[in-house]
Structure 1
Amino acid sequence: MTAPVSLSLFEARWLAEVVRRHEEHHGLLEDAAEPAAASAAAPAAVPDFEGRILCRAERLGARQGWRAAILAWRRRARTLLLVALALALVLGFGAAAGVLGDGSRPVNVVWTLGGLLGVHALSLLLWLAAMALQGRGGGRIRGGGSAGWVWLRLVAFFDRSRTAADLPLALGGLLGRGRLAGWGIGAASHALWLAALLGATGGVLLLLATRRYGFVWETTILPARSFVDLSAAVGALPALLGFPVPDAAMVTASGEAPLLDEAGRRAWAGWLVGAMVVYGVLPRLLLALCCAGLWRRGLGRLRLDLSRPGYARLRAVLMPGSARIGVSDPAPAVLPCPPRPASPAGHGAAAVAVAIELGDDLAWPPAVAEGAEAGAGGTRGRGAWEDGGRLDSREQRRAVLGRLAARPPARLLVAVDARQTPDRGTLGLVAELAACAVATRVWLCAGAHAPVGRTAQWRAGLGRIGLDAAALFEDAAGVRAWLETPEADDA
């Protein structure tokens, strides 16, 4: 079984934006059937608010299909970019072959250079203008270059499913507040232009190496000196890298007829290749690296806008002021066993019955005495027992413990709800109560409705505090006999 593909931090924030946009229009995704499952799981994972939002979005996105849509978008974007780079390389080579021709006619150096670098120069100027005028808001992706735009639109075009419909808008909401989108699309655009220029430069080199070309320049109204100055200006930077530049005599001779001598052809060929490298390949390479670096730097600084209403309303859920921490320490192997008075105090009650956290459907005090008369504070039958009341609050427990400690009874009945789990708190209270009586019994109320195995749990829990199986009652008859028989053996 293969491990699931993980999202990058940028893609996780993108997914959070998808979830936010959906919930702002359609309400929170959690419902009664799944009560805040994703929200409840998030706080345990990470401490900060944004991290909890990302954790929640990961769970909800996996359920709604958005996570898989983003992973598919990533695969599609990479595949289309590789295909576009290969196509740009081929088109660049084709452009070089079309401009130079098959060598049967002279090559006009001005038209050749303009044909190979003209569109590139125009698109570069447009990119610079777009980046200079790029806005800083609005939730739309602006700038970046036309080639990058086409690539991004193609990525979205090939998945028109309903799940992926919100992905471009969420991406715009995440990146549209600054220039980050422009840097990302610009990196892709410059990479495509770089591939095209590399293809064109490679095509020029290959054709110049395998065919014989003659170079000319032509004009009707311009003086020859203008082309001498032009060739010198264009070749100045390539000359710094070692590319040859035609001298004034070669330029002047090329205007009268195609320059056919070997030195002249090599000078013009080097001048052309140098111009391609310096004014085409190198600018696009540097800009692609610069945009990629700024893109990665921007991703490192990218954060969710937590002031948006869709995130702000989650703060109370994901960052609660208090939380239930559960069990903070392991249960001891042996619970403390209650000490018992050696003999009942002369002024204590013969029998007392108390209830610990009984369900609301269980009546108290219990009608366990046949033909009993209601007396003040208890029930009177053949024997006498006193109602100690329900012990549901801390104050009630303290009051009863104080009263029993002052007047220890001979017999103490503790009624518990058999449907509940015998936790340490309940067993500890039973132990404290048992320490105030000579004999203690525990009555499992509603035992017939208890889950399977719950009686065994109570029996084991009571055994850990020193109350054996004989101290456990499961029926009212046994309770009645024990409470109302003063001569009962309380050992």
Structure 2
Amino acid sequence: MNPGALPYSFQDATIAEAVQLVEEAGPLDDAQAVREAVALRTDGAGRIVERARLLGQRIGLQDELARARAWAPWILLGLVALIVLGGLTLAGSVVGGSERSINVVVALASLLGLHLLTLLLWLLGLVLPLGALNLSFGWLWLALTARVAGGRRGQAPLLLRAATRLLVRARLAPWALGFVSHAIWSLSFFVVLAVLLFDLAFRRYTLSWETTILAPDFFVQAVQWLGRAPSWLGFPVPDAQTVLSPQATAAGQRDWALWLAGCILIYGLLPRLVLALLCAGVWRARRKALQPDVSQPYQQRLLARFEALAPRQIVDDDPGSARRGALAGLAADQTRDMLMAIGFELPEELPWPPAALDAAGAQTLRTDGSASGRREALDLLARLRPRRVLVGCNAAATPDRGTERFLREVAALSTECRLWLQGGGATPEARNRWHAWLADAGLERIEASDEPQDALRGWTMAG
């Protein structure tokens, strides 16, 4: 699992997901982070990750994640020690009796029962989303790490939610957490086998089976069936005479002991080892999916903002011009045939929407220009993808950088964008000021007018 081959690590992806979770409750002030992300990275996903990294440092996500990473190995060692002690206890219960008599059926059930149950739950988790997630040692490891590193009020629970959601979306949750679980079980079975073989090699035990209601033929068939796979590796299988004999010979006792060890190896240790390797392989194959999902409205809005702030490369432009170049909007086949009208920073005395918009069949929205208001409008644009967007502004106002940034973001999320100058302040001087500002800002593609027939020219639901 080498994250160095990826554009960014699992840690970066987790921070990006955590920042998105934070902003679901309310937007962060990210103007500086967005500018730095645009300056540092050129690809959209990389800018999203860079912005999240900068915001994460500000709200303490990196520090919390560093504490969790420092605690994670110790939590894992504690779980391993717990499982190993459990394995030693099971092995001791099998070979530690004072009478040195082992019921092979009870021993096999006690050593493999919980393992087979948790393995079945993990396999169900591959088919059913999150089927065995909360019951695996991998999830327990993550949850304990978050609890110890951050407590109840820190950012660690948020990072845990982010990592879980990221793994689930990438379809890696059962594989990533399964690797931890299978590795712990493998170590446990290795310890059990080592203790069991050591005691069987240097102490004398009597192995047998007992029953009250089952027929002896059942045990003969069960022993033969369970011993088939271990026999492929050379483990002996007790014959019917040995199974039915109340007092097996020394050779028969040896067959019983090796049959028990072979069953633990084949049905316990080897499946866990193979599945741990399989989980590692699936992680390597799918780890590229651990990146922001740019199809989400949240990511689309960020990409539009990055696009609006990115420097434009102008071909055959006037060398003396300081303009930023033409806007790049969406193609018609990338948008829906609808008209959206947004009233931007309009004073209270200017009503919105005007009556002319009802005749045009427009979907209307009004925003006060605040950070949360702009994001709400842009989120709606990213989700609806309207082909035509009409932005209403106060003609008497002086356009500023906030207006320019908003218009660029709107234009990047639509095919055609126009500006409707509202109010009685639409004097010739005001119109000239707005037109000159649009030209200086590189927003010539956005037509500006103060008359409704001009602003809505050709923009009906049929057009």
For the pair 1:94 / 2:94, whether they are aligned, the reply is no
For the pair 1:223 / 2:215, whether they are aligned, the reply is yes
5 Å matches for 1:153-302? 153-158=143-148, 159-160=150-151, 161-253=153-245, 256-257=246-247, 259=248, 261-302=249-290
Give the drift of 1:324: 7.1
Contact 1:90–1:199 (CA under 8 A) maintained in structure 2: no
When Rg is computed on C-alpha atoms for both structures, the one with the higher figure is: 1
Q: Of residues 72, 75, 80 in structure 1, which corresponds to 2:70?
A: 75
Once superposed, what is the RMSD of the aligned Cα atoms?
2.5
Give the drift of 1:144: 7.0
Q: Of residues 302, 308, 316 in structure 2, which corresponds to 1:314?
A: 302
Residue type matched to 1:84 in 2?
Answer: L
Residues 221 and 28 of structure 1: CA distance in aligned 2, closer, same or farther (over 3 Å)? closer
Q: What are the Cα deviations for residues 85-129 of structure 1, in whole angstroms up to 9, with x where unaligned?
A: 233123212211112223524211111111111121122122222
Corresponding residue number in structure 2 for 1:118: 113
For the pair 1:323 / 2:311, whether they are aligned, the reply is yes
5 Å matches for 1:4-23? 9-23=9-23
SS in 2 for 1:319: helix
Contact 2:122–2:174 (CA under 8 A) maintained in structure 1: no
Residues 321 and 68 of structure 1: CA distance in aligned 2, closer, same or farther (over 3 Å)? closer
SS in 2 for 1:73: helix
C-alpha distance in structure 2 between counterparts of 1:286 and 1:145, whole Å: 20
Residue type matched to 1:275 in 2?
Answer: C
Residue type matched to 1:308 in 2?
Answer: Q
Residue type matched to 1:274 in 2?
Answer: G
C-alpha distance in structure 1 between counterparts of 2:280 and 2:140, whole Å: 18
TM-score, scaled relative to structure 1: 0.58
C-alpha distance in structure 1 between counterparts of 2:19 and 2:243, whole Å: 65
Residue type matched to 1:150 in 2?
Answer: L
Contact 2:122–2:132 (CA under 8 A) maintained in structure 1: no
Residues 148 and 68 of structure 1: CA distance in aligned 2, closer, same or farther (over 3 Å)? same
Give the drift of 1:163: 2.9
Corresponding residue number in structure 2 for 1:395: none
Contact 1:107–1:213 (CA under 8 A) maintained in structure 2: yes
C-alpha distance in structure 1 between counterparts of 2:114 and 2:132, whole Å: 21
Give the drift of 1:44: 2.5
Contact 1:14–1:171 (CA under 8 A) maintained in structure 2: yes
Give the drift of 1:321: 6.7
For the pair 1:53 / 2:48, whether they are aligned, the reply is yes
Give the drift of 1:62: 1.6
Total equivalences in the alignment? 307
5 Å matches for 1:477-488? none
Residue type matched to 2:224 in 1?
Answer: A
Residues 145 and 322 of structure 1: CA distance in aligned 2, closer, same or farther (over 3 Å)? closer
- Identity fraction in percent: 41
SS in 2 for 1:107: strand
Corresponding residue number in structure 1 for 2:390: none
Give the drift of 1:301: 2.7
Question: Which ranges of structure 2 fall in alignment gaps of 5 or more residues?
Answer: 1-6, 314-463
Give the drift of 1:209: 1.9
Give the drift of 1:145: 4.3
TM-score, scaled relative to structure 2: 0.62
For the pair 1:130 / 2:125, whether they are aligned, the reply is yes
Contact 2:19–2:52 (CA under 8 A) maintained in structure 1: yes
Give the drift of 1:225: 2.4
